[in-house]
Amino acid sequence: MMKLFPHLALATASLTLSFATVCASSASAAILNYALTVDSSTAKGQGFFSFDDSTFSNDNIPVAPIKSLVFQFDNDPNIYTEKDDIGYPDYPVAFTTVSLTDTAPIGLLYNFLDKTNPALNYEIAGTLFSVDSTTFNNGTVSYRQVPEPSSLGGTLMFLTIGWFMKKKIVSVKKVKC
């Protein structure tokens, strides 16, 4: 039985590693999820958007259509989606940032009207936020990637198996002593 354990542990580790490799290779063209936060003197808000990174165009600055977008200003019951973009269905889009000043590898182009006051026009252009075209760059937008639940589950499973294997090896060494 003691000789079987190392082989079983090695097989389990190999199987887990192969699952991780398959998940990693299939994730090379995947749906990416990002959270965004708008911070300006006139409006603050949070949202989420997702896009398929395999749909990036071959332009100088590659863009990909947004699959889903949900955005809401603080203390405002209105929820804005991708369909609220003025240029829908061609916009909103995600783009790869090329400027050295950008802190996120992905930016969003999203232009929408206020649902309660259609005279107000909001624009998110990468890390810049503006209200109306007259007040350009009166706020900032920050992004953070939100991990896929499946990749978190796989990592947790891999770490749990490794922890159990380590505990078992330590207990086997204590029995031998």
Owner of token pair 């989420």: 48
Q: Give, for all 177 residues of the chain, the pLDDT tens digit.
A: 445 444 444 444 444 444 444 444 444 568 999 999 999 988 899 999 999 999 999 988 899 999 999 999 999 999 999 999 999 999 999 998 876 565 678 999 999 999 999 999 999 999 999 988 666 668 999 999 998 765 445 555 555 555 455 555 556 566 666
- pTM comes to 0.66
Cis peptide before 92 (omega within 30 of 0): yes
User: What pLDDT, on the 0 to 100 scale, is given for residue 39?
Assistant: 96
Which residues, at least 6 apart from 173, have a Cβ–Cβ distance to it below 8 Å?
none
Rounded Cα gap, residues 33 and 26, in angstroms: 16
Beta strand ranges found along the chain (DSSP E): 31-40, 44-52, 63-73, 80-81, 93-96, 106-113, 121-125, 128-131, 135-146
User: What pLDDT, on the 0 to 100 scale, is given for residue 59?
Assistant: 87
Radius of gyration of the chain (CA): 23
User: What pLDDT, on the 0 to 100 scale, is given for residue 11?
Assistant: 43
3-state SS assignment for residue 91: coil
User: What pLDDT, on the 0 to 100 scale, is given for residue 175?
Assistant: 63
Rounded Cα gap, residues 68 and 110, in angstroms: 12
Instruction: Identify the CA nearest to 68 among candidates 112, 100, 35.
Output: 35
